[in-house]
Amino acid sequence: MRSQTSMNTTGTIRQTIATVNNWIENRTESQFAYFMLFPVLLVFSVLALWPVLYTLETSLYADSFSQFRGEFIGLSNYTELVTGGRDSVLIRPFIDLGNPFQSILPVTLMFTAVTVVFATILGFVQALVLNGTYRGRSIVRVAVLLPWAVPIVVQGMIFYLLFIPAGAGTDLVNSLGLMGSQPLNESVTAFAIVSLADIWVSAPFIALIILAGLQGIDQNLYQVGKVAGASRWEQFRLITLPQVMPVLMIAMLLKSLMSMRVYGLIDATTNCSTVPSLTCGVVGTFNGSLYGTSAALAFITAILIGLVSVGYLIKYGNSSTGGI
């Protein structure tokens, strides 16, 4: 009896395996790829999607000092943020177009635009330097990549010490007439300093990504260009730039996401006072036990990041100039 039961079990297992194998063999490559990705997507849903949904749920409740959530108020947190009804509990107004450098959303968007553009340009130049062949290249690579390896708090403190009233950076820009004696206490100059710090820190990261693209270019293309009489600028414009564009777009996307959620650098440099950002608003309201407002700010940040990602995928996802 036991032998018969064992044989039946073995037969059932074999039949199940055969059925699964037949099902897999009848799938297309795309269907099989999604099938293999399903466990990863499931884990992602638990680890990433659930916190986002929980944040959305929390943002629909009023702030309460006696408990984690107050009464259900729907989208009131969002409407009051946009209309200025919550400005009194924020470190700075959420939207104030009359004073954009002291307004949370404009500062975040301007900071993202400025740092992405200039960090990409500087990173591209650094990648071209790192891709060259010359003596002392290893030393140059260490020097270029060093800022990226420094911890964020240390990076912020470096620029804080440079631009305090007695700092060397303050003396320099003051002698040139570019800034006052307390640049970190003024919104525009503090914004410029924090942007400069972020560009200095993130350019090596972009350089590494672009360097990978540069090293994947077929060198025969440059030989053909030389034979055709192309100048260095024409080789860069017609060969280097188109070939490296896919990784360049990815680098800009990643940098955009990093800039939108930057916090440590701003906090260490200005204590989020003169350069307010969305993440500064999230942390400030959370520390003040304003959990509904904090969740609304966090979800707005997630929406902006999602819009940038979706916009990239729509524009470059299936194009020849960029895509994952």
pTM over 0.85? The answer is no
Q: Which helix (H) or strand (E) holds 265?
A: helix 264-270
Domains defined for the chain, CATH in brackets: 33-316 (1.10.3720.10)
Q: What is the pLDDT of residue 252?
A: 92
Query: CA neighbours within 13 Å on the CB side: how many for 138?
Result: 0
- pLDDT, residue 10, reads 66
With a cut of 50, list the residues of the chain below it in pLDDT: 2
Handedness of CA 20, 21, 22, 23 (dihedral sign): positive
Q: How confident is the model at residue 308, as a pLDDT? A: 87
What pLDDT digit, counting tens, does each position of 262-297 carry?
A: 998 999 999 888 888 999 999 988 888 889 999 999
Please tell me what DSSP assigns to residue 273.
S
3-class state of residue 72 by DSSP:
strand
What is the rounded CA–CA span in Å between residue 233 and residue 239?
10
Q: Which of 90, 57, 89, 88 is nearest to 74 (CA)?
A: 57
Whole-number pLDDT of residue 7 = 55
Say which DSSP state 134 is in. -
Taking CA atoms, 189 is separated from 44, 75, 105, in Å, by: 41, 36, 18
pLDDT in tens, 68-104: 888 888 899 899 888 888 777 787 888 888 888 888 9
Main-chain phi, psi angles of 302, to 5 degrees: -65, -40
